[in-house]
Every structure is written in C-alpha cells, then in structure tokens.
Structure 1
Amino acid sequence: MITELSGDLSGIKDHYIEKLEMMLDNIFSSSELVSIDFLQQLSDIASVIGKNLAVLINRRGEVLRIKVGELTEDFFAGVQQRRSVKRLSGLRCIYLTFNSGLDRKSKIFLKEYRLDLLLHLSFSNKQSGIKAMLHYPKLNEGKLIIGSKTVGPFSLEELVDIDYLAEIESIEDKLQTVETVKVTGAESEKAILVGLMTESDTKYKQDELLNELESLVQTAGIEVCGKEVQHRKHPDHSYYIGYGKVQELKELKYQFGVNVIIFNDELSPAQQRNLEEELELKVIDRTEVILDIFAQHANSKEGKLQVELAQLNYLLPRLTGKGKDLSRLAGGIGTRGPGESKLEIDRRRIRKRIDNLEAEINRVQQTRATQRSRRKLPTVSVVGYTNAGKSTLLNRLTEATAVVKDELFATLDSNTCRLKLPIGRKVLISDTVGFIRKLPHQLIAAFRATLEEVTEADVLLHVVDITQHDYKAKMDAVLEVLAELDVLDKPIITILNKADLIEEQEKIELIEQELENSLVLSAKNGRGIDDLLAEISNFLLDTMVELELLLPYSDAGALELIHKRGKVFTEEYSNEGIFIRARISQEIANQVDEDYIISRKSLA
C-alpha cells in the first residue's frame, strides 16, 4: 500500500510538503463535495510547484491520499472501498492539472475503479482562475463503460451548491452489473503477452511459443486478454520491441484493463526497467513466469531452496531502479515463492543469502551422492518435456503416488522408486523436473542437485507426448538440456506416450519409424509397458552374468544377497552345499568367493 502522500516530491520545498501532509487531515461533511478553502490551498500549492495534484476522498469526507504528479494506477491500489458490483466504490477523486481537458487514461480510471466522480480542475494561471469540470461514470445498458458524463464548467464557488450525491444515487439505481477489473494484490491478474519475431523466426514458431507462454501464464493463475507480436530485425536495446510498439501497448492496457505485460523472451534489467517506467505497470518475462510457477509448486525443503536460489539470482541485477521500497513486491505473478520476503533486504544481505543457499544445496548434493553410493543398484531416470506424462509413467511402473495433473510443471521434486525387471534385476527409477523451451539457466543451475539423478543414471527414458504437433521441437528442447548436462552418451529409450489419444495407427507407426530406439506406449492405460520393461532389461543385460555356484551352508548370507539383488533360476540343497544357478550383476558377482563359482557366462 502506498503512503498517504506520494508522487514526485523532488524539488519541492519542505514547507509545501508539510502543507500537503496537513491537508490529509481534512474531513468534509458527507453532503459536501469539497470545501472552497481546500481547493484554494490545492491551487496555491500547484501554482508554486508547477506539478499536477490528485486527491482521493471517501464518502465520509475523509481525505485518504494526495499525490504529486500524474494520476496512475498505484494511486488507487489497496484503498478500502465498497465491494458490491451493483454500487460505485464510494471514492471520489480531485485531479488538478495544467491541461484544459481530461486525458483518456483518467476517464478509464473512472470506470476501472468505479469512482463516484472525478473533479477535474484545469489550472492555467492565477489571473484566469480555475475551471472545474465534473466527470461522472458513464453507463450503457446498466454497465459502466469507458468515458464520462461531463457537467460544467464551474467556478470554485459554484461547486458548493452541487448535489453530487443525488447524481451518484441515480447512477447506482441504473447500475445492473459492473465488471470489476482492478483488484488489489495478486487476485484477478490480467495480462497481454508480447512476442518478438525476427528475420530468423517463422510465424509458426512464434505462434507456438506464444501459445506455450499462454499455457504457462494460465498455469500461474493469470488471465490472458491478448497477444501481440512485433516484427523487427533484432531486439531494441532499450525497449526490446521498440518505442512505437510500447505506445501501442499503452493503449491496449487501458482497452483490456490489464495489470501486467508478459514478454516471451528474457528481458535485460535495463529493458525491463524502461518498459515499466513507460507503461506504468508491472512488466515480466518468460523466465519470471516459469520461476513463479516453480515457486507455487515447490513442496519439499530442497525444492524450495532451489527455487529461492533461482529467484534471487534472477532478481538481484534487476533491483536497480525499482525504488527503495521495491514496489514490485506488492504481490502477484513474479513475486511469489520462498524468495519473496528476502527481497526486502539490501544487496549485501541478498548476496549473503545466495551464498548460504548454495552452501545448503551443496550439502544436499553431498547427501544425495552418499545415498547413491549405498544403492548399488542400476538407475533409470525419466526425462521429458513438461506435461509429457513422466509422473503417470512412474506411477504405472511402480507403486508410486506421484502427483499427476494436466498442467505445466506439476512435478518439481524428484521421486525415486524400486522397480523389478522381468530378468529378475531390481533397478531404481526416478522422474525429474520437466524441461521446456527456453528453460531459464538459473533453474538449471539451481536444480543441479535434482538433475544429478539424470547425470548418474544408467538408462534414460525420454517421454514424448506425440499428441502435440510440435513434439519434435519439444524433443529438441529436452535434448538441448541433456547436452548441457553432458549425458547424451547414455542409453536413451524414446517413449512415444499418449498413444491412446491418437486414432490413426498409421500415424503412430510412421513416428516410430522416424525415431530410433523408440517405443509406442500409453502410461495411462498400460499399453506397451511390457515392451518397455523388456527394453530396459536389454540395456542392462550387458552388465549382468549368469552364474552356477555351490555355496557352503556357512555362507548362506551370499544366497540372501543373490535373491535380493538378482534372479535365481535353480536352488538345490545337498550334503555338499547349496547349488545355485542365477543371473546377477557383474558387481554382485565380484563379491562372491571365486571358490564357490562353478561357471560364469556373460550376457552381453
């Protein structure tokens, strides 16, 4: 919430600032629009400081706020008002400017914030005096629309006799339904999405990326009101899309009543700052949307640590110019998550917090490494584009209860379960955080501890949603991340998932022929699961041997280990000992005393 006196106070003498602060103590009678003395003080101060002044008053006649400078959205943020959609807000605004007419933006505020009225005082100089115009909300078929019902001009003295309450009651009697647009906090956020199409891009690619951004934004709980694409040879250094397009966005933000503009690429700190200053509302980019979704979905302590680290690394260079109070932290998309409260501290402490987070995540990595060293089981890691069906597959293969939702990044925390293969060998299988095109580097760095499950895996299962017509582009995005993790040399089984949703069998067969080491599968209904288990077994057979051995009864512990870690085909008891024929890993075979081994056969 803003302070009661706000705006551009630079260059104003303390004497006049004190006068404005004292004017906040004024209370008018409920039937009085405003007093002449109050308006005269306002005009006297404006004539000296040469800046616009805005005043907000409630129906009890209390002066709530005074702002120096132009009327903007933040002036109305967080003010208590009447909530009924069949009534006006109970707030009236006095706006003194040096222009004769009221700008369109102010008339939009009249509708967006359901103001009782807006009193516009046009001030040119003391000699010509002040011209006062009353702007009441405009209705069309019982609904508020942009514009105003204008009454006037009046002198200051004539304003005293105006029965403004009768006019407000008349408007409310006709008001049937009002679509409230501006809500404080993170509720009912509305956005325009913006993409940039350069010479190297295609319309199809840009449309796909914008559609994906729309899905991301909707996952974050934001309503998308429109999408804009700017064509340029290369991004503008200052505004990314160029100054002309920024002016178009200004009009669109008022037309749609949006409170956030979201760009489909990562903006530089300077570009983001320039855009926010010009558009006078929150501007975020694709990276910040993804970070916001991660902040909402992180449940484990480890996940929260990793998200907070990514948030702080992203936001640290962007603190410059956001004001001492870091006003973008009012709530909503781009400000949620574990890192939110930490941003109210200074840079030095933020850097210290980053160091502490990195140290804590390093400890997590060491713990994971210790756990992995004790497993002594082959590992299979499930990777893929977000929402491709990785968690559904894990649940199908094991008795896991991983969260399954039809939304992006529903799973952040790695789940690891045991899986027994048909060859008798047990493996550990884990899913990972989903990948996406333009996955923020901050997240890849922060999630190193989680992604180490991928780097340490013996086999990778690449889950692909073949119902998506751009599945190849999404596969490439996954492979790019895998290349960054330096794991492309590992065995990869490509799983063509969600085959149950495709009716044309020929289409599935064609895709399968195009992709090497691929299997058609439906994690939802179980189609192809047996083939997948057999394929995983084939990849692991080259690390297994078939043994015949005679164990003495004194070493029955070795038999327990073979049963636990391999597959026993024959088990016979005699006076000489226990005859075993089994298939086990080379690693376990090396732990068996050579004197007990009758024969050894490699399965590679």
Structure 2
Amino acid sequence: METLKDKFKVQKERAILVAAAQRGESGYKYNDLSELSALAESAGAAIVYKLQQKIDRINPSTYIGRGKAELLGEHAESEKADVVIFDNDLSPAQIRELEKVVGVRVIDRSELILDIFATRARTRQAKLQVELAQLQYTYPRLTRLWSHLDTVAGAAGGAGAAGAVGGIGTRGTGEKQLEIDRRLVNKRITELKREIEGIDKRKMREIKGRHDQYKVSLVGYTNAGKSTLMNALTDAEVFVEDRLFATLDTRTRKWSVDKGVEVLLSDTVGFVSHLPHHLVASFKATLEEAVHADLLLQVVDVSDEDVFEQIKSVDQVLDDIGCGEKERLVLFNKSDALASEANLESLQAIYPDAICISARTGMNLDLLAQAVLDRYRQEEMTVRVKIALSDGKTQSFLRGYCEILEENYTDSHVEIEARLGKSQLPALKSLKPAELRLDA
C-alpha cells in the first residue's frame, strides 16, 4: 500500500503551507513563508492557506502537536487541499502520523526542492545527480510499500509451517519486503555514484584543462538573474524564466572583457536557504566551477525584500563548498526595479565596492567588465619570450591568450613581449620556448 506522500505530481494542486517556529535565545523567529510559497508555486502548486505555529519543543509524533495537526486537517478539508507542505524537515514517522490526522499528502521542504530539481533536470548529468539525491533522501524514509508481501518465500510455497515453504535453500522465515527495497535502493545508489563519478572525472579534467585561462563564475540565489546576466555578457543562450531553479546545468562561455582579453565565464546552479545537503553533494561537479574560479561574481537581487537573508544563504553554501575566502565581486542586480532604495543604501554600506547593474537592460555592464579587467590585470605579468619561427604552438598560445606588446623578428626567431595572467605562466613554460624572461 502506498503512503499518501509517495507521489507528488507537479500540477496545480491546492497546497497548505506550514512553518513551525521554535523558541530561541531571542524568542520565536517567524518565517513569513515567502520563500516556501515561491518554491511551491515553482513546483506548480496553488497556495490556499498558510499556517504558522509557535512550539516550545518538537512533538516527536506530529512536529506541531496533535491539536494543531487536527486544526490543520479541518483547514485541509474546508480548503479542499491536496497537499500540506512543511517549511521544516520532518521525520518519516512524523509524516506518516500527520497524514493520518490531516488526511492529505504531507511533504517537507527538502522533498519539495528535490521534486523541483527532478522536473528541471535536462542533461544526463543533472538527471543522475537529482536521482541520487532523491534516493539518498528516501533511503532512511523507506516503509513497506506493499501490504500483500510481508515476507518473500520460495516459489514452491504453500500452506504449512514457517520454514516449510519453498525449495531447498529458500526455506526459512523469508525476507521482509522492506529489506528488499533497501537492498535495491542501495544497489541503485552505488550504480549512480559510479556513473556520476565518471562524469565528475571528465568534468574535473575539463576544469583543470582551463588552468591557463582566467576563470569567472556566477554564483547567487536562485532567480537572482545569473542566467540573464550570462546571456547579456556572452552568447550562451541560457534558458531564462522568472521562477526558482529555472536552470540546473552549468554552462561556460568565453567573455571578451577588453580587446585581446578573454575570460571564461560559468553559470552555476542557484542557491536557496537550507539547500538539502544531498543536493549539495550530488551537484559537487557542477559547483566545482565555483571552487576552481579565479573570481566569483555574486549576483544579488536587490529588488527582493529578503535580500539580506538570501545573501546569508549564499554565503553559507559558499562556505560549505570551500569558497568562503575566494575573491568575490558583488553585483546588485535589478537595480532598475527598486521600489525603495532603503535596502540598497544599507547594502552599499556593507559592500562599498559592489556594482549596481541590470542584466535585463544592460545598465552598468561596462563598469562590470572594467572591474573584472582590473582584477584580471592585478594577476598579470609581463614576459619576454624568444621563440623559434617554426614553433607555431607557442606563438599561437601567446596570440590567443595574451596581450602582445611588442614583436621583433630575426632570421630564425621572433622575440615577443606580452602581458599574461599568472595562472597562464605554467602553461607557457610547459611549451618550452627558446628563451623566457619575466619582467620585474
């Protein structure tokens, strides 16, 4: 028998949102449910009721207490709700008990985010990553899904005492269906990890193969405008839509920030507060773009009322993946859509070097390019290289990735003075030019 929550179909289902606030050092901290509302709507739900509840401690049975759960059931009935979505993470036992009391499906925040990711995944890599995250989330929550199989015995089973059914080697108490489910899930998790590991290795080789280029990565809260900015700066043609997690796949394109200066610009999956750790682990290869970047462009939606919480959430995820101390340039996107400048003034006091932009209109994107160019040139050095005329590979490298300052030809060699980034120096040395000098 399936539990009520086993299938959450992405359609216009009527949803009730619930958030429980526990007492902390500064009292009860309420969540206005705006983010959960956006997540639910992104999954295709219609919000019909919202409930916030103060709790001194988590009820081990229903999380919010049985009385409140019964009241929730009344609202579910009167509003003809199809699903109840909690902003809190629930245990399997709490979900089962709540479904008995409320009478409709109950899911928690993590399951909702996983469901959204499942509907957004397009590439093979993203689909595998989402499936792995879902199975890792589901594994500890497995319950017996079929009531007609208590135990599995041999094919020759029939009436008689336990242990007397089945053929030789199959007799005994049998195997619980739950154990079979867990074994199958474990096997699939192992298969997915192996396949994703292969993709990750290829991805890492791609990223490490770019060591001779300056790498910039876009990071930020979901729906902050990263994909729109990516399209505005390059010809990436990334899918853009005003919804959370519109894109899950990383794209990397060349961005010409100045004549003769190109950097690699990568988009990353959007962050959200309390992003399930299974997703962070599964999307490790995607997030490696940020880990190996020379510069992070943190895109902030300054038109959002929860902008401070969103910045905090992004900072937390960056810390989790080891990017907390990486050089970062903050971009205040959607500056042209501000209803009030109060938030902007407060943010500018905290981030005085941030740039106000509009990815949609192109406002101040020239200032952004200049800021990236300045940081690129902080990492630059001037070199003098003597190259044999027959050494086309080294010449091609210098002309493709460096700024040529001067060239002098002799009968057998060309001497080139060029400016390049420090990260490109090892690649130049590996080409073994006839002579290489670094200018002070």
TM bin, normalised by shorter chain, reads 0.7 to 0.9
1:493 counterpart letter in structure 2? L
* Residue 540 of structure 1: aligned partner: 376
Q: Which runs of 5+ in 1 are unaligned?
A: 3-73, 75-183, 327-342
* Residue 103 of structure 2: aligned partner: 280
Per-residue displacement from partner, 1:335-392 (whole Å, max 9, x unpaired)?
A: xxxxxxxx9x722111100111111111111111122232232221111000000101
Identity of aligned residues (%): 37
- C-alpha change, 1:231 and 1:534, in structure 2 (3 Å) is same
Kept after mapping to 1: 8 A contact 2:388/2:414: yes
Determine whether 1:600 maps to 2:438: yes
* Deviation at residue 420 of structure 1 after TM alignment: 2.7
- Give the Cα–Cα distance (whole angstroms) in 1 for the partners of residues 240 and 106 of structure 2: 31
* Residue 424 of structure 1: aligned partner: 260
Which one is further off, 538-547 or 568-577?
A: 568-577
1:350 counterpart letter in structure 2? V
* Residue 134 of structure 2: aligned partner: 311
Determine whether 1:193 maps to 2:17: yes
Which one is further off, 445-454 or 499-508?
A: 499-508
- Give the Cα–Cα distance (whole angstroms) in 1 for the partners of residues 49 and 146 of structure 2: 29
2:215 counterpart letter in structure 1? T
* Deviation at residue 542 of structure 1 after TM alignment: 3.9
- Give the Cα–Cα distance (whole angstroms) in 2 for the partners of residues 529 and 405 of structure 1: 21
- Give the Cα–Cα distance (whole angstroms) in 2 for the partners of residues 201 and 325 of structure 1: 50
Within a 5 Å distance, the mapping from 1:492-531 to structure 2 comes to 492-502=328-338, 508=344, 510-531=346-367
- Give the Cα–Cα distance (whole angstroms) in 2 for the partners of residues 192 and 321 of structure 1: 27
- Give the Cα–Cα distance (whole angstroms) in 1 for the partners of residues 411 and 192 of structure 2: 61
- C-alpha change, 1:275 and 1:364, in structure 2 (3 Å) is same
Determine whether 1:248 maps to 2:71: yes
Per-residue displacement from partner, 1:168-219 (whole Å, max 9, x unpaired)?
A: xxxxxxxxxxxxxxxx9765421111110222398996343x1111111111
2:204 counterpart letter in structure 1? A
- C-alpha change, 1:505 and 1:284, in structure 2 (3 Å) is closer
1:193 counterpart letter in structure 2? L
- Give the Cα–Cα distance (whole angstroms) in 2 for the partners of residues 574 and 470 of structure 1: 64
Determine whether 1:392 maps to 2:228: yes
Determine whether 1:370 maps to 2:205: yes
* Residue 7 of structure 1: aligned partner: none
- C-alpha change, 1:357 and 1:521, in structure 2 (3 Å) is same
Which one is further off, 375-384 or 394-403?
A: 375-384
- Give the Cα–Cα distance (whole angstroms) in 2 for the partners of residues 557 and 325 of structure 1: 70
- Give the Cα–Cα distance (whole angstroms) in 2 for the partners of residues 554 and 442 of structure 1: 53
1:600 counterpart letter in structure 2? L
Per-residue displacement from partner, 1:232-256 (whole Å, max 9, x unpaired)?
A: 1122111000000011012111101
* Residue 120 of structure 1: aligned partner: none
- C-alpha change, 1:579 and 1:270, in structure 2 (3 Å) is same
* Deviation at residue 526 of structure 1 after TM alignment: 1.5
Name the SS of the counterpart of 1:347 in structure 2: helix
Within a 5 Å distance, the mapping from 1:168-567 to structure 2 comes to 187-200=11-24, 206-208=30-32, 210-320=33-143, 323-324=146-147, 346-376=181-211, 377-422=213-258, 424-502=260-338, 508=344, 510-567=346-403
- Give the Cα–Cα distance (whole angstroms) in 2 for the partners of residues 187 and 577 of structure 1: 68
How does the TM-score come out when normalised to structure 2? 0.84
2:337 counterpart letter in structure 1? L
- Give the Cα–Cα distance (whole angstroms) in 2 for the partners of residues 452 and 416 of structure 1: 12
1:359 counterpart letter in structure 2? R
1:477 counterpart letter in structure 2? S
2:401 counterpart letter in structure 1? R
- C-alpha change, 1:422 and 1:199, in structure 2 (3 Å) is same
How does the TM-score come out when normalised to structure 1? 0.62
2:19 counterpart letter in structure 1? G
Per-residue displacement from partner, 1:485-534 (whole Å, max 9, x unpaired)?
A: 11112101111111111266786455323215421111112222222222
- C-alpha change, 1:570 and 1:260, in structure 2 (3 Å) is same
- C-alpha change, 1:397 and 1:322, in structure 2 (3 Å) is same
- Give the Cα–Cα distance (whole angstroms) in 1 for the partners of residues 113 and 27 of structure 2: 23
- Give the Cα–Cα distance (whole angstroms) in 2 for the partners of residues 397 and 185 of structure 1: 37
Per-residue displacement from partner, 1:138-182 (whole Å, max 9, x unpaired)?
A: xxxxxxxxxxxxxxxxxxxxxxxxxxxxxxxxxxxxxxxxxxxxx
Kept after mapping to 2: 8 A contact 1:260/1:281: yes
Per-residue displacement from partner, 1:55-100 (whole Å, max 9, x unpaired)?
A: xxxxxxxxxxxxxxxxxxx9xxxxxxxxxxxxxxxxxxxxxxxxxx
- Give the Cα–Cα distance (whole angstroms) in 2 for the partners of residues 202 and 298 of structure 1: 40
- Give the Cα–Cα distance (whole angstroms) in 1 for the partners of residues 381 and 11 of structure 2: 61
- Give the Cα–Cα distance (whole angstroms) in 1 for the partners of residues 148 and 35 of structure 2: 33
2:429 counterpart letter in structure 1? N
Kept after mapping to 1: 8 A contact 2:120/2:246: yes
Kept after mapping to 1: 8 A contact 2:28/2:54: no
- Give the Cα–Cα distance (whole angstroms) in 2 for the partners of residues 325 and 417 of structure 1: 55
* Residue 162 of structure 2: aligned partner: none
* Deviation at residue 589 of structure 1 after TM alignment: 4.3
* Residue 159 of structure 2: aligned partner: none
* Deviation at residue 549 of structure 1 after TM alignment: 3.9
Kept after mapping to 1: 8 A contact 2:120/2:245: yes
- C-alpha change, 1:230 and 1:292, in structure 2 (3 Å) is same
- C-alpha change, 1:404 and 1:325, in structure 2 (3 Å) is farther
Q: Which runs of 5+ in 2 are unaligned?
A: 150-177
1:590 counterpart letter in structure 2? K
2:30 counterpart letter in structure 1? Q
Q: RMSD in angstroms over aligned alpha carbons?
A: 2.9
Which one is further off, 579-588 or 403-412?
A: 579-588
